[in-house]
């Protein structure tokens, strides 16, 4: 038998909470490599919130197919190449999926420059769905300025933990993170330099926002939506900016999304609420990567990684992401 690919595939679309029963584990022999393609041994997969949305029937992102591997971004090493731009031994980044080996058109893959950062960092601090997302959300959409008060939701996760730190690096003086549990509050204030944290699972978010931002909020970087967005909207300043990065509280209930009840505050406060998709900034990725790499090198930007192991654990680790069982960037070493 030749080289075997071990993978997790979708057997049914989850209704509500994602369950391990929605997936199964399969092994298959890897065939001949088609012209223009590369065979990649997958190293680490980023376990990202967008993966959950690909499991829904009408996913905005390219959806997972029944019987197919689950879309996931990853880093790996080229084992064999029939593509001109890549050779065996190259480290690459791309949509590798929930499997140990991936056969991809070479043009879909990006060759990594390991002199800038090791492979995992290209998923985290320099990652498309993490560092770049936080960078453009805070700098271009939120337009954070010196002296401002910035609130970040899902603040102890991958995007949120970087968004709060980038806000601080841009001169925000009051950076408040919202996350679940006392451990995450300590992580935000003691390890990441947030000014303060709100434990939304055990504290009254509205009362804590009143105490921590008595003069109101300039920028809200929202990853969560739902009632947290409503609590913040009630406390925005004039000319504030609400950045809709995501709404993870809604991803397991897409048939009846809970929109913001307090949106009239936008008119009262002459505020803006703006969503964005990171790939619309593709012409500026190089600029963001250079800045993020410099902050990481100087120790000004901290990306905590949590690494789980084994491709067969992909469903359990996706559940972990949705229920917040991690700090920082959640990775799966397949």
Ligand X SMILES: NC(=O)c1ccc[n+]([C@@H]2O[C@H](COP(=O)([O-])OP(=O)(O)OC[C@H]3O[C@@H](n4cnc5c(N)ncnc54)[C@H](OP(=O)(O)O)[C@@H]3O)[C@@H](O)[C@H]2O)c1
Per DSSP, the residues of 107-158 read GG-EE--TTT--GGGGTTTT-IIIIIHHHHIIIIIS---TT-EEEEESTTBH
Q: Which of residues 103-162 bind ligand X (CB under 6 A)?
A: 129-130, 133, 154, 156-160
Cα 322 from Cα 298, distance rounded (Å): 32
Give the total of residues touching ligand X (CB under 6 A). 30
Task: Please name which of 320, 295, 294, 293 lies closest in space to residue 306, comparing C-alpha atoms.
Answer: 320
Q: Which of residues 178-217 bind ligand X (CB under 6 A)?
A: 179-180, 184
Q: How far is the CB of 80 from ligand X (least distance, A)?
A: 31
Nearer to ligand X, 18 or 236 (CB): 18
**245, 292, 303, 331: residue in contact with ligand X (rule CB under 6 A):** 245
Nearer to ligand X, 107 or 181 (CB): 181
Nearer to ligand X, 106 or 180 (CB): 180
Q: How far is the CB of 179 from ligand X (least distance, A)?
A: 4
Nearer to ligand X, 52 or 101 (CB): 52
Cα 221 from Cα 150, distance rounded (Å): 7
**97, 131, 142, 246: residue in contact with ligand X (rule CB under 6 A):** 246
Q: How far is the CB of 302 from ligand X (least distance, A)?
A: 14
Q: How far is the CB of 197 from ligand X (least distance, A)?
A: 10
**223, 229, 235, 292: residue in contact with ligand X (rule CB under 6 A):** 223
Helices and strands, number each (H, E), in the chain: 9, 15
Q: Which of residues 253-282 bind ligand X (CB under 6 A)?
A: 276-278
Stretch that binds ligand X, among 111-119, 167-175, 245-253, 290-298 (CB under 6 A): 245-253
Instruction: Tell me if 332 sits within 8 A of 41, measured CB to CB.
Output: no
Instruction: Tell me if 253 sits within 8 A of 274, measured CB to CB.
Output: no
Task: Please name which of 285, 180, 269 lies closest in space to residue 217, comparing C-alpha atoms.
Answer: 269
Per rule CB under 6 A, is residue 95 in the interface with ligand X? no
How many Cα atoms sit within 13 Å of 111 on the Cβ side?
Answer: 14
**126, 249, 265, 273: residue in contact with ligand X (rule CB under 6 A):** 249
Cα 4 from Cα 51, distance rounded (Å): 24
Q: Which of residues 24-53 bind ligand X (CB under 6 A)?
A: 48-50
Task: Please name which of 314, 333, 320 lies closest in space to residue 23, comparing C-alpha atoms.
Answer: 314
Cα 159 from Cα 49, distance rounded (Å): 10
CA angle 222, 223, 228 (to 5 degrees): 60
Stretch that binds ligand X, among 1-9, 17-25, 241-249, 301-309 (CB under 6 A): 241-249
**321, 331, 332, 334: residue in contact with ligand X (rule CB under 6 A):** 321
Instruction: Tell me if 189 sits within 8 A of 183, measured CB to CB.
Output: no
Nearer to ligand X, 90 or 231 (CB): 231
Nearer to ligand X, 100 or 249 (CB): 249
- Interface ranges with ligand X (CB under 6 A): 48-50, 129-130, 133, 154, 156-160, 179-180, 184, 223-224, 245-249, 276-278, 321-322, 324, 326, 330
């Amino acid at each position: 038998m030749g080289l075997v690919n071990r993978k997790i595939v979708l057997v049914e679309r989850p209704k509500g909470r994602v369950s391990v029963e929605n997936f199964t584990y399969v092994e298959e022999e890897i065939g001949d490599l088609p012209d223009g393609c590369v065979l990649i041994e997958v190293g680490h997969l980023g376990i990202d919130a967008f993966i959950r949305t690909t499991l829904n029937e009408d996913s905005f992102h390219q959806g997972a197919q029944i019987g197919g591997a689950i879309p996931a971004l990853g880093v790996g090493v080229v084992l064999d190449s029939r593509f001109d731009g890549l050779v065996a031994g190259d480290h690459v980044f791309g949509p590798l999926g929930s499997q140990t080996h991936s056969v991809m058109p070479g043009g879909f893959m990006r060759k990594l420059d390991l002199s800038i950062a090791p492979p995992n960092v290209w998923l985290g601090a320099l990652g498309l769905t993490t560092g770049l997302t936080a960078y453009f959300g805070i700098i271009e959409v939120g337009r954070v300025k010196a002296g401002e008060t910035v609130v970040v939701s899902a603040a102890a996760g991958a995007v949120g933990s970087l968004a709060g730190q980038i806000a601080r690096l841009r001169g925000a003086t009051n950076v408040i993170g919202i996350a679940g549990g006392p451990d995450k509050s300590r992580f935000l204030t003691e390890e990441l330099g947030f000014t303060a944290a709100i434990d939304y699972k055990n504290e009254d978010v509205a009362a804590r926002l009143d105490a921590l931002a008595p003069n109101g909020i300039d920028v809200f970087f929202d990853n969560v939506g739902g009632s947290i967005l409503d609590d913040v909207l009630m406390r925005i300043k004039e000319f504030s900016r609400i950045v809709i990065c995501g709404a993870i509280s809604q991803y397991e209930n897409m048939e009846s999304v809970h929109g913001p009840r307090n949106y009239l505050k936008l008119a009262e406060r002459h505020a803006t609420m703006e969503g964005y998709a990171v790939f619309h900034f593709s012409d500026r990725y190089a600029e963001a990567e250079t800045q993020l790499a410099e902050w990481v090198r100087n120790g000004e930007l901290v990306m905590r990684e949590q690494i789980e192991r084994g491709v067969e654990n992909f469903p359990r680790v996706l559940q972990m992401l949705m229920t917040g069982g991690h700090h920082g960037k959640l990775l799966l070493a397949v």
